[in-house]
């Protein structure tokens, strides 16, 4: 018999909490109710409860410690349990704030219970899927995220950590324009000046390693826009 999936429900409105617990239970989940942020934080940490949770359902406006603060703290402590954030705040800046705090999904109140259940199922499926990095290839250029190796045909190419991350980003979006801002956000986490030539230097070095020795031209500069890794290499 398949064990029931466990969901932590953090909601200070007793009536809504009861409705959520009943709906989750009927859908095959085992709910555990909490009504304030500090108890949620304690329960969601490893060893904080008698069992681990498959999904956390957090209301934004929890007493003691709000849902966004709880989510941010859990992520800082390395807890990767999927988080669905519930809130009456439906504005775009609020949704962005919740997702930036580490939430995996966001649903504004009032919401449809069936939609909530569907989103929670989706979160659980994604979290349960095997984590197998996909090898990225364009032509004879191959990048393995798992081993962090790059090959052009039978030749292995040595790259610095930054060069590897830039190339991985370009390969993930092969054929598309990757802006300088996107590279800063993904590779440097925004921690450099957009006016700096650091990206140009790394791109130039990448070209000397993955293109020049092989007589190919893979990375195209799009003036005023960014860079593109061409799928039709030459």
pLDDT score, position 133: 62
Task: Using alpha carbons, select from 37, 94, 46 the residue that is nearest to residue 69.
Answer: 37
pLDDT score, position 195: 60
* Residue range 5-128 in CATH 3.30.365.10: no
Q: Assign domain 136-229 one CATH number from 1.10.10.10, 3.40.50.10420, 2.40.50.140, 3.30.930.10.
A: 1.10.10.10
Token pair listed for 61? 């406006």
pLDDT score, position 50: 67
Blockwise average pLDDT, block size 10, the chain, 234 residues: 77 92 93 93 82 90 90 88 84 74 85 90 77 79 89 92 92 90 78 69 93 93 91 69
Q: Taking the CB of residue 112, how many other CB atoms lie within 10 A of it?
A: 9
Give the number of C-alpha atoms closer than 13 A to the C-alpha of residue 179, restricted to the C-beta side. 7
pLDDT score, position 181: 85
Question: Domains of the chain: which residue ranges?
Answer: 5-128, 136-229
Interatomic CA distance for residues 209 and 154, integer angstroms: 14
Q: What is the pLDDT of residues 64-77, one digit of tens each?
A: 899 899 999 998 88
Interatomic CA distance for residues 116 and 84, integer angstroms: 9
Helix (H) or strand (E) holding 172: helix 161-172
Q: What is the pLDDT of residues 94-145, one digit of tens each?
A: 777 777 788 888 888 888 999 899 889 888 887 776 555 678 999 999 999 8
Interatomic CA distance for residues 150 and 165, integer angstroms: 11
Going through the chain in order, the beta strands assigned E by DSSP cover 5-10, 29-34, 55-59, 83-87, 105-108, 136-138, 141-144, 149-152, 155-157, 177-179, 219-222, 226-229
Interatomic CA distance for residues 5 and 12, integer angstroms: 22
Task: Using alpha carbons, select from 172, 69, 84 the residue that is nearest to residue 124.
Answer: 84
pLDDT score, position 211: 94
Give the bridge partners for 138, in sequence order. 141
pTM for this model (two decimals): 0.55
CB 174, CB 221: distance < 8 Å: no
């Amino acid at each position: 018999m398949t064990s029931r999936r466990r969901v932590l429900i953090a909601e200070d409105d007793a009536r809504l909490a009861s409705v959520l617990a009943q709906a989750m239970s009927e859908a095959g989940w085992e709910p555990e109710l909490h009504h304030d942020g500090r108890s949620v934080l304690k329960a969601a940490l490893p060893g904080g409860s008698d069992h681990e949770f498959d999904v956390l359902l957090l209301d934004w406006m929890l007493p003691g410690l709000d849902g966004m603060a709880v989510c941010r703290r859990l992520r800082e402590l390395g807890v990767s349990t999927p988080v669905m954030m519930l809130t009456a705040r439906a504005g775009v800046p609020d949704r962005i704030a919740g997702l930036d705090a580490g939430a995996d999904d966001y649903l504004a109140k009032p919401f449809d219970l069936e939609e909530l259940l569907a989103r929670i199922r989706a979160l659980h499926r994604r979290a349960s899927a095997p984590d197998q990095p996909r090898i990225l290839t364009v032509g004879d250029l191959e990048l393995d995220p798992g081993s962090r190796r790059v090959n052009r045909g039978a030749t292995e190419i040595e790259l610095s950590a930054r060069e590897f991350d830039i190339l991985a980003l370009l390969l993930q979006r092969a054929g598309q324009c990757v802006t300088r801002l996107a590279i800063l956000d993904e590779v440097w986490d925004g921690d450099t000046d957009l006016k700096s030539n650091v990206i140009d230097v790394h791109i130039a070095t990448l070209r000397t390693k993955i293109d020049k020795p092989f007589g190919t031209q893979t990375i195209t500069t799009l003036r005023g826009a960014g860079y593109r890794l061409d799928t039709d290499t030459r």
